[in-house]
Structure 1
């Protein structure tokens, strides 16, 4: 029989999972997502991707400001759920909510736990130079991503992957993991695996200042940093122009051989020296403009050999 479920999620990453769960024939009796907030250049209030998809499916949607509100918890408990499926919801669920469904709350996480618990596992995996990551569905506990793992899928990180491309791979793989997990849950055949106590790392949120490129690091680390923050928030440097400094984001770069002072442009095609080696800047975005390939960028912005990037 189909499971009686609630779904909790907010961004596009979560919407893909909702589509697969509905497509598998389960009864999603309510969707919880974040309230409408100003988004985009015009800062108009917009519904989340999950909210928009849920309405297309004709599902009931609730957007509580806080899941700690006793009325919200009581309404959740009254749904008489078999389970709740959680994907990038953006709120911490109190223990009363975790205990309400008959089979508990399940969460999809974009790493191979216990590595990269927390908010930014995709970015941190690339930034650290990891060659492998994955998606896992776990039984939720009060701790941050500490619950036992129910189902896993490994995803290799390609040397050319950015956070954007890896996000899309993990989004698709994670969404397809739900029907298998819920079918096994329905049969009672899931075997929870406790997470290892060794190898725990935390994927803290990326700060704006952290996104600045540190040219003193080795070329590989600089390139990984750039890939990890593309497309958002975007790794950046400042370029001196005749009208003052402008901020430039780099969306892709590759390590190459080269020597010079860290941050020094050492040829006429955006090869920049680092603490060890150099990186070739491939895709850039000047503040207020579109992303451009390096050749197009140089037609509109002069960056001569010997220029120092800050």
Structure 2
């Protein structure tokens, strides 16, 4: 089959690599231009470089303009395979090939359609994350499922670990889906709209620590916002402080949420939770990162200072 790939960053790179390893011909690789946006600097393996190294024609576009529509039609694909294409695709593109378009999404659809699915799933304490291959239609991540695979979430998993694990699923799922499509054995399972959940892009607001949350929730936020993602953070004495490592205290602490207390279990305990009078486990900060990039222990940063973390 003649295949056109649409993709960006490492997700798109893994997808193009998967197709290149099959018997199928890559007629065109479409990708976005390089960006200086922080999110697009993460996992930034270049689709364009991989295509060029393998003699594959490349079309670079920001969105689905007429030039991209014309390029896709000129390639005469039997199927499009898309992964991490970041703008809307019109029917003139996704329905153009004989076999339509297969989209790869890093969640177990119909749950976690939309953005940052692995991070949101971890925060919601899901037991598994995964990757879905589905047919593209006019909705966002709504088309029939043709392949899916899950990986378990461990008790200390970080978003980074889970993203890397789901990336490893891309190549085998793409290869299997194309083989089934070529053999005429591809099965499709319609998504249940009532089971669908959608999540938006995360912003700086979602990374800010709320000390009225439980210590377990704060510790989970720290793991969810692991490097290279924007770290969970708070403000102390007017300085933004990012949290790299933390744990839930064994003992319980009472008082005002956000109160910096004492050295405890290798770090500094900060009161958290919904009550000022009923003691609850504290969040124990271990490693911090300052605005200049310096990494310090919580003991180094707080020293003998008490006080309250700024709201």
Structure 2 CA distance for partners of 1:274 and 1:151, relative to 1, 3 Å: same
Alignment correspondent of 1:249:
242
Following superposition, the deviation at residue 299 of structure 1 comes to 6.4
Following superposition, the deviation at residue 133 of structure 1 comes to 1.5
Asked whether the equivalents of residues 3 and 26 of structure 2 are also in contact (C-alpha less than 8 Å), the reply is yes
Asked whether the equivalents of residues 135 and 153 of structure 1 are also in contact (C-alpha less than 8 Å), the reply is yes
Q: Which runs of 5+ in 2 are unaligned?
A: 274-279
For the residues of structure 2 that align with 1:6 and 1:153, how far apart are their CA atoms?
23
Structure 2 CA distance for partners of 1:54 and 1:272, relative to 1, 3 Å: farther
CA RMSD of aligned residues (A): 2.2
Does the residue aligned with 1:270 lie in a helix, a strand or coil?
Answer: strand
Following superposition, the deviation at residue 149 of structure 1 comes to 0.5
Q: Which runs of 5+ in 1 are unaligned?
A: none
Following superposition, the deviation at residue 270 of structure 1 comes to 2.1
Asked whether the equivalents of residues 267 and 305 of structure 1 are also in contact (C-alpha less than 8 Å), the reply is no
> In structure 2, which of residues 102, 107, 114 is the aligned counterpart of residue 111 of structure 1?
107
Alignment correspondent of 1:190:
186
Does the residue aligned with 2:193 lie in a helix, a strand or coil?
Answer: coil
Alignment correspondent of 1:35:
33
Following superposition, the deviation at residue 54 of structure 1 comes to 2.0
What is the number of equivalent residue pairs in this alignment? 295
Alignment correspondent of 2:253:
259
Following superposition, the deviation at residue 305 of structure 1 comes to 6.4
For the residues of structure 2 that align with 1:279 and 1:58, how far apart are their CA atoms?
53
1:279 equivalent in alignment to 2:279: no
Structure 2 CA distance for partners of 1:255 and 1:131, relative to 1, 3 Å: farther
Does the residue aligned with 1:78 lie in a helix, a strand or coil?
Answer: helix
Alignment correspondent of 2:307:
307
Alignment correspondent of 2:139:
143
Report which stretch shifted further, 123-132 or 135-144. 123-132
Report which stretch shifted further, 134-143 or 273-282. 273-282
Asked whether the equivalents of residues 98 and 140 of structure 1 are also in contact (C-alpha less than 8 Å), the reply is yes
Following superposition, the deviation at residue 262 of structure 1 comes to 1.5
Q: Deviations over 1:210-267 (max 9, x none)?
A: 2111110112221222222222122110122xxxx21111133332343132122333
TM-score normalised according to structure 1 size: 0.88
> In structure 1, which of residues 233, 236, 239 is the aligned counterpart of residue 236 of structure 2?
239
Structure 2 CA distance for partners of 1:116 and 1:303, relative to 1, 3 Å: farther
Q: Deviations over 1:26-82 (max 9, x none)?
A: 211111111233367xxx9xx962222222223211112321x22321221121111
Alignment correspondent of 1:65:
62
